[in-house]
Amino acid sequence: MAAYDDRDGHIWMDGKMVPWREAKVHVLTHALHYASSVFEGERAYEGKIFKSREHSERLLRSGELIDAPIPYTVDEIEAAKAEVMAASGLTDAYIRVVAWRGSGEDMGVASQRNKVRMAVAAWEWGAYYGDAKMQGAKLDISKWKRPSPETIPSAAKAAGLYMICSMSKHAAEAKGCSDALMMDYRGYVAEATGANVFFVKDGKVHTPLPDCFLNGITRQTVIGMLRDKGVEVVERHIQPEEMDGFEQCWLTGTAAEVTPVGQIGEHRFEVGALARLIAEDYEKLVRGKL
């Protein structure tokens, strides 16, 4: 694949379609220095973005949470995404919408005089964890913890929240793992670096309570699917030592979709029937076949 700044195509930027290679910002852009940025990652299947409007609504909420209100409505964001999809010529695609404080009169911590900008791009992107959907992903356990919601707006999909995720994933990849599982500031199981986690024991599904990390749209979708099947889903605080007793595990996220997990640290899981069923049914759902 070509570098992300050197591709053919167009990107929607501040209300206009611009050639891909010309979609640039100044080096003194506030977000580059202070992480004053929020984003959404979305997937289109057969030409339709799954849960598109929910993603646009969350983008606006994220902007408000980091005090960078985005100057577009949900309908305007939806129109921009539709324009990008049409220009890309893609039917199955990953869509990235990003909003940030640009360059302007402020270059200190405060940035209220700097305009909030927005861009939308789309590209082809396959399985996030490669062949893990069949074999089960292997996860490291990160030394970094998800912070308390008293220290950062954890309900926002904000760039600054991902710094320790990148560091955790780099360390995991160096060990031959696909990703890393993170604990929260209290020591409870939280999430992977860009995906929520689910466990199975005795026919019940257990998933961490999202009280200090993002309650993912895919997470919510999968919980609804499980409950529709009559499967009991328990949202609760999970101690790390409980992983020894769980039988199955999977990750959920827009990029990850539903990916079974075979190992987290020293804890091993079977890629079992429920994990496979939910992965298969999710694939049907996003393509309008369920």
Tens of pLDDT, residues 83-106: 999 999 999 999 999 999 999 999
pLDDT band at residue 2, thresholds of 50, 70 and 90? confident
SS (H, E, C) the chain: CCCCCCCCCEEEECCEEEEHHHCCCCCCCHHHHHCCEEEEEEEEECCEECCHHHHHHHHHHHHHHCCCCCCCCHHHHHHHHHHHHHHHCCCCEEEEEEEEECCCCCCCCCCCCCCEEEEEEEECCCCCCCCHHHHCEEEEEEEEEECCCCCCCCCCCEHHHHHHHHHHHHHHHHCCCCEEEEEECCCCEEEECCCEEEEEECCEEEEECCCCCCCCHHHHHHHHHHHHCCCCEEEECCCHHHHHHCCEEEEEECCCEEEEEEEECCEECCCCHHHHHHHHHHHHHHCCCC
| Domain endpoint, select from 101, 123, 145 | 123
The answer to whether residues 149 and 268 belong to one domain is yes
| Domain endpoint, select from 123, 143, 169 | 123
Residue 2 within a domain: no
C-alpha closest to that of 132 among 286, 276, 260: 260
Q: Can you state the angle between helices 273-286 and 217-228, rounded to 10 degrees?
A: 110
One-letter amino acid for residue 20 of the chain: W
Residues sharing a CB contact under 8 Å with residue 180, sequence separation 6 or more, in sequence order: 139, 140, 141, 142, 168, 169, 171, 172, 192, 193
The answer to whether residues 163 and 96 belong to one domain is no
Q: How confident is the model over 70-82, as a mean pLDDT?
A: 98
Q: CA-CA distances (angstroms) from residue 167 to 159, 179, 185, 193, 286?
A: 13, 11, 17, 9, 31
Residue 84 within a domain: yes
> What pLDDT score does 129 carry?
83
Residue 32: CATH number of its domain: 3.30.470.10
Cα 219 from chain centre: 10
Active site residue 16: no
> What pLDDT score does 230 carry?
98
d(CA 194, CA 43): 15
> What pLDDT score does 69 carry?
98
> What pLDDT score does 127 carry?
81
The answer to whether residues 145 and 114 belong to one domain is no
d(CA 194, CA 236): 20
Q: How confident is the model over 218-234, as a mean pLDDT?
A: 98
pLDDT band at residue 128, thresholds of 50, 70 and 90? confident
Q: In angstroms, what is the C-alpha Rg of the chain?
A: 19
Residue 114 within a domain: yes
Residue 173: CATH number of its domain: 3.20.10.10
Residue 4 within a domain: no
Question: Do residues 266 and 245 touch, judged by C-beta distance below 8 A?
Answer: no
pLDDT at 43 over 80: yes
One-letter amino acid for residue 155 of the chain: A
**Share above pLDDT 70 across residues of the chain, in percent, rounded to a whole number:** 100
**Share above pLDDT 90 across residues of the chain, in percent, rounded to a whole number:** 95
pLDDT at 262 over 90: yes
Decide: residue 200, CB within 10 A, 0-12 exposed, 13-18 middle, 19+ buried. Answer: buried
The answer to whether residues 171 and 89 belong to one domain is no
The answer to whether residues 140 and 112 belong to one domain is no
pLDDT tens column, 264-283: 999 999 999 999 999 999 99
Mean pLDDT across the chain = 96
d(CA 171, CA 151): 24
The answer to whether residues 261 and 183 belong to one domain is yes
pTM score, whole prediction: 0.95
Q: How confident is the model over 176-203, as a mean pLDDT?
A: 98
pLDDT at 36 over 80: yes
The answer to whether residues 146 and 99 belong to one domain is no
Residue 5 within a domain: no
The pair of structure tokens assigned to 279 is 């992965």
d(CA 186, CA 164): 16
- Supply the range of the domain harboring residue 139: 132-286
pLDDT band at residue 132, thresholds of 50, 70 and 90? confident
Residue 140 within a domain: yes
The answer to whether residues 154 and 194 belong to one domain is yes
The answer to whether residues 109 and 79 belong to one domain is yes
Indicate the range of 45-54, 128-137, 138-147, 199-208 predicted with least confidence: 128-137
Catalytic member of 81, 138, 157, 169: 157
The answer to whether residues 180 and 278 belong to one domain is yes
According to DSSP, the residues that pair with 259 across neighbouring strands are 251
The answer to whether residues 235 and 97 belong to one domain is no
